[in-house]
């Protein structure tokens, strides 16, 4: 169900200092299950060796247009047909000019002429070169021809200047590719998510909380956005960079989270509750630090509102997906929550184990709905989120069609 798995990308590398980031980019693309073939211009080989790119891509690197041996293995026309996408990163000013005027004097420019696949460029050059009238004119022509532009970013440059012309970071490029290659099945659909923990204050320096890192919820937000949804993420305190093109609302306690959810719910089509909401809060928040002058103490707690249950009790609830985090009897408890909270779907995960669930890179899910279920074996939360979002999309449209 991973839409990016086995997609075929030609990564074209041209002569720019940003070429040193290409190895990391290849690695990140392969993590998504993408098959990468690298094509380098001669200038690019001055910045990073083909051997490095061969090692990280797992495929022979192409550099020559007229190499008999390479042509025997996979000719340039065959290579141009093979690709689902050609990404040129970094794309130098010179290469953008060649692309504009249809040159075909090296392998990479020839492939760009010979392919029917979409082409994307990630410009990387000195800020003055980027701003130059002729570069801007070339870019306008390329955009009119449907070439996708990823960046450039603004900031400090290798030449010591500051300005626009920096290549996007590899993680941002992966995100852009994900966006480009993922069918926009959720275009026009509004998705609201909760993620991370909540904190319930005991006194000015202490709180009750849990081990949620927010990774699962943030990954689902990014996956929903890649499918074309308009995504709003209500997040408890976490140490993560926000997903791109997602509206973020930061909250602290369960009560704050409920208020924020209710403020957004009316226009929501799909609600996904990934947050680990504190079930209880202290009856009283002390205004001064609690002193340790007793051998033991009893904290009196009261129940927090159940956000998920409040959403499904609305007159017109959205398609609602809950999570169940359990240390034991996972399936029984998840099925019970599905019914009791009147959910459309529930994603159950085993917690309290090493390397999965709370505060880990990986997770595994068993998803239930009224008349079906699906197991997603352990993998990275990013991959899992894409698989889960595809299932949610499928179930959502099936539900709305009824």
Contacts to ligand PMT from residues 274-293, by CB under 6 A: 274-277, 279
Q: Which H helix or E strand runs over 338?
A: helix 330-340
Which residue's CB is nearer to ligand PMT, number 89 or number 307? 307
Q: Does 254 bind ligand PMT (CB under 6 A)?
A: yes
Q: Does 367 bind ligand PMT (CB under 6 A)?
A: no
Q: What is the DSSP secondary-structure string of 302-324?
A: EEPP-HHHHHHTSSSPPEEEEEE
Contacts to ligand PMT from residues 100-159, by CB under 6 A: none
Q: Does 260 bind ligand PMT (CB under 6 A)?
A: no
Residue linked to tokens 């202290």: 282
Residue selected from 32, 157, 179, 212 as contacting ligand PMT according to rule CB under 6 A: 212
Of 80, 89, 117, 98, residue with least CA distance to 29: 89
Burial 341-372 (b: 16+ CB within 10 A, else e): bebbbbbbbbbeeeebbbebeebbbbbbbeee
Collect all residues with Cβ–Cβ distance below 8 Å to 95 and sequence separation of at least 6: 12, 14, 15, 41, 88, 108, 109, 121
Residue selected from 90, 214, 243, 318 as contacting ligand PMT according to rule CB under 6 A: 214
- Tell me the closest approach of the beta carbon of residue 239 to ligand PMT, in angstroms: 11
- Tell me the closest approach of the beta carbon of residue 297 to ligand PMT, in angstroms: 25
Q: For ligand PMT, what does the binding mask look like between residues 65 and 104, x meaning CB under 6 A?
A: ----------------------------------------
Cis peptide preceding 90, ω within 30 of 0: yes
Q: Residue 277's Cα: distance from chain center in Å?
A: 23
Q: Does 225 bind ligand PMT (CB under 6 A)?
A: no
Parallel, antiparallel or unpaired: strands 119-123 and 247-250: unpaired
| Residues 324 and 330: beta-carbon distance below 8 Å | yes
DSSP secondary structure code for residue 236 in this structure: -
Q: Does 338 bind ligand PMT (CB under 6 A)?
A: no
Which residue's CB is nearer to ligand PMT, number 52 or number 250? 250
Q: What is the DSSP secondary-structure string of 343-360?
A: -SEEEEEE-SSTTSSTTS
Q: For ligand PMT, what does the binding mask look like between residues 15 and 54, x meaning CB under 6 A?
A: ----------------------------------------
Is 379 among the catalytic positions?
A: no
Q: Does 357 bind ligand PMT (CB under 6 A)?
A: yes
Which residue's CB is nearer to ligand PMT, number 28 or number 341? 341
Find the angle CA(253)-CA(344)-CA(378) to the nearest 5 degrees: 75
**Residue 264 burial by CB count (10 A; 0-12/13-18/19+): exposed, middle or buried?**
middle
Contacts to ligand PMT from residues 151-210, by CB under 6 A: 194, 196
Which residue's CB is nearer to ligand PMT, number 15 or number 217? 217
DSSP secondary structure code for residue 261 in this structure: H
Q: For ligand PMT, what does the binding mask look like between residues 307 and 336, x meaning CB under 6 A?
A: xx-------------xxxx-----------
Contact residues for ligand PMT, defined by CB under 6 A: 194, 196, 212-216, 254, 273-277, 279, 304, 306-308, 322-325, 337, 349, 351, 357-359, 381
Q: Which residues are catalytic?
A: 159
């Amino acid at each position: 169900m991973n839409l990016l798995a086995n997609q075929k990308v030609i990564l074209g590398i041209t002569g720019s200092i940003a070429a040193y980031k290409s190895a990391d980019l290849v690695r990140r693309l392969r993590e998504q299950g993408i098959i990468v073939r690298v094509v380098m211009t001669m200038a690019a080989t001055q910045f990073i060796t083909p051997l490095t790119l061969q090692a990280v891509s797992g495929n022979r690197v192409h550099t020559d247009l007229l190499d008999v041996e390479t042509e025997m293995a996979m000719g340039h026309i065959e290579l141009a047909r093979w690709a689902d996408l050609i990404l040129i990163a970094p794309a130098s000013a010179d290469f953008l000019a060649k692309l504009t005027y249809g040159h075909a004097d090296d392998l990479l420019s020839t492939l760009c002429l010979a392919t029917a696949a979409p082409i994307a460029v990630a410009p990387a050059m000195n800020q003055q070169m980027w701003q130059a009238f002729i570069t801007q004119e070339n870019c306008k022509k390329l955009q009119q021809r449907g070439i996708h532009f990823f960046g450039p970013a603004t900031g400090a440059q290798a030449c010591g200047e500051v300005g626009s012309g920096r290549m996007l970071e590899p993680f941002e490029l992966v995100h852009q590719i994900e966006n480009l290659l993922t069918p926009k099945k959720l275009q026009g659909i509004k998705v609201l998510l909760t993620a991370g923990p909540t904190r319930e204050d005991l006194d000015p320096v202490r709180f009750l909380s849990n081990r949620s890192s927010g990774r699962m919820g943030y990954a689902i937000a990014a996956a929903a956005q890649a499918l074309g949804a308009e995504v709003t993420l209500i997040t408890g305190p976490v140490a993560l960079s926000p997903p791109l093109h997602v509206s973020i609302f930061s909250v602290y306690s369960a009560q704050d989270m409920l208020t924020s959810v209710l403020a957004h719910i009316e226009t929501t089509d799909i609600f996904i509750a990934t947050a680990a909401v504190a079930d209880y809060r202290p009856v009283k928040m002390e205004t001064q630090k609690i002193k340790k002058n007793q051998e033991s103490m009893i904290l009196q707690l009261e129940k927090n509102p159940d956000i998920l249950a409040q959403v499904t009790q609305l007159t017109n609830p959205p398609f609602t997906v809950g999570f169940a985090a359990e240390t034991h009897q996972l399936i029984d408890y998840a099925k019970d929550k599905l019914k009791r909270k009147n959910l459309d779907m529930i994603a159950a995960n085993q917690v309290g184990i090493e390397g999965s669930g709370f505060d880990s890179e990986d997770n595994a899910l068993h998803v239930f709905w009224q008349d079906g279920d699906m197991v997603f074996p352990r993998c990275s939360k990013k991959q899992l989120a894409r698989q889960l979002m595809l299932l949610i999309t499928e179930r959502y449209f099936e539900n709305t069609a009824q």
